[in-house]
Structure 1
Amino acid sequence: MDAQQQQLALAAIRRHFLFSNFSEAELEQMIKSVRLHELKAEQTLFYQEQPADHFFLLADGLVKLFRTAPDGNEKVIEIVSPGQTVAEAVMFMRRAQFPVSAQALKASRVYGIDCSVYYELLQHNVDACMRIMGDLSMRLHSRLNDVFNLTQQNATYRVVRFLASQLPSGAQDGCKFYLNSPKHVIASRLSVKPETFSRLMSTLAQKGVIEVKGREITILSLEQLHQFE
């Protein structure tokens, strides 16, 4: 990266809570090893089981994390938005390999942080250690919720919960939002078939709960939406 790109990377890293407890000198040291990845849509950032020596911060764009089964089927694990980090847990693994693959859903800029540099800084910063432990604990809690919802709740519940999760705080009837990922990617994330996702969205529209115009979703009745949960 040139000097201007390094300053942009430093600003993005400084804003993220995993780096907020480091001094300016420590951040300056870290930024020297940061890599900028400029990805095109559908370009892969890393592959499942690839050796991992970096974790990543998404600056802009959209990235999906997925696993590929032996039969070739793809399961989307998470859709990563700007400001989120990816694969920070790998630095604590005895055999550091990425447990998932990562692919850009659209043009994206990603900063790669050297695990060894970050790990060395952690050894001298207790507050930063607590931050990353908190982050990993939240990730684990989120995955446990995912397992419960995917195994114990039906497809309608999962789709409705997804729609509700896209709403801003204080949302009211008439609130609009846009699906930031293709419908087949969202369907995979929810462990439903694409045709099932489309059918359930159509059913909600026919019942007057939502209105669908391409990727634009309007919630017509929050009360009715929550009745499906």
Structure 2
Amino acid sequence: MSIGKIKVQDFLARLPLFNDVDPEELDHIAESTTELHVPRGQQIFRRGDPCVGFHTVVYGQVKLSFVSPGGSEKVVEIIGPGHSFGEALMFMEKPYIVSAHALADSLLLHVAKSAVFDELQRDPKFARKMLAGLSRRLHGLICDVEAYSLRSGAQRVIGYLLKEETPADGDQIRLEVSKNVLASRLNLTPEHFSRILHELANEGLIGVDGRNITIFDIERLRNYGG
């Protein structure tokens, strides 16, 4: 099985979950892996659908979200290349509790539950890796809850801007998703998110041009609202 010129086994072997799996077992897992080419905006699964495996992103972006009783969308997570989703519900044998949509043209791999369970029975180290991955996901969710509870909206936005970057004054950061999606991810309304960007711009900390954010004063930005 191949992804263009790349074998599925080669891609799976790069994932932390599979990087110590024997080639023969990796072949078995690859045989139970399906490629999904998902155009931007298309739904991958909906809340309530059965979970019969987990997905990993080769390229593109996936949004995990649900709709509140009031009808508004809450973005739970944005999944990028090299990351996976759906493992916890696969083990619980429960239906999906969120919906998934492609934010960009994406290529996903769906690894069947049967192949994962076979590998778990064969190799205890694989089980430990699965537990480690799920623990990291849980830790991230706890950090999100802490941020929503204890940090201001401005601090959440700044934390997002600086989370994976070490920018200097004059550097530019491009938002990976639309402002509406990002606002929901940060537990803000789109209007509040826009007000925060304007506030930071008026303070001379950043410049805003569509999705492009220019850092003007990194030290003041880090300490803003603290």
Same structural fold, with TM-score higher than 0.5 when normalized by the shorter chain: yes
- Name the amino acid aligned to 1:206: N
In structure 2, runs of 5+ residues without a counterpart are none
Distance 1:4 1:60, change over 3 A: closer
Structure-2 separation of matches of 1:4 and 1:154: 43
- Name the amino acid aligned to 2:180: H
User: What does residue 167 of structure 1 align with?
Assistant: 165
1:144 aligned residue (120, 142, 157): 142
- Name the amino acid aligned to 2:194: S
Structure-2 separation of matches of 1:185 and 1:166: 18
**Count of residues paired in the alignment:** 225
Q: How many angstroms does 1:8 deviate by?
A: 3.1
Moved more, 16-25 or 68-77: 68-77
User: What does residue 66 of structure 2 align with?
Assistant: 67
TM-score when normalising by structure 1: 0.93
Q: How many angstroms does 1:108 deviate by?
A: 0.6
- Aligned partners of 2:9 and 2:26 also within 8 Å: yes
In structure 1, runs of 5+ residues without a counterpart are none
Across the aligned residues of Structure 1 and Structure 2, the Cα RMSD in angstroms comes to 1.5
Structure-2 separation of matches of 1:134 and 1:160: 28
2:208 aligned residue (200, 207, 212): 212
TM-score when normalising by structure 2: 0.94
- Aligned partners of 1:53 and 1:96 also within 8 Å: no
* CA deviations over 1:51-104 (Å, ceiling 9, x no partner): 1002001000111110112332110001111110011112220x4211211100
- Aligned partners of 1:16 and 1:83 also within 8 Å: yes
- Name the amino acid aligned to 2:201: A
Q: How many angstroms does 1:9 deviate by?
A: 2.0
User: What does residue 76 of structure 1 align with?
Assistant: 75
Q: How many angstroms does 1:167 deviate by?
A: 1.5
1:200 aligned residue (196, 203, 213): 196
- Name the amino acid aligned to 2:184: S
Structure-1 separation of matches of 2:4 and 2:86: 23
- Name the amino acid aligned to 1:144: I
- Name the amino acid aligned to 2:115: V
- Name the amino acid aligned to 1:217: I
Aligned to 1:143, the other structure's residue is in SS state helix
1:72-151 to 2 correspondences below 5 Å: 72-93=71-92, 95-151=93-149
Moved more, 21-30 or 210-219: 210-219
Q: What stretches of structure 1 move > 4 A for 4+ residues in a row?
A: 2-7
Corresponding position: 1:183 with 2:179: yes
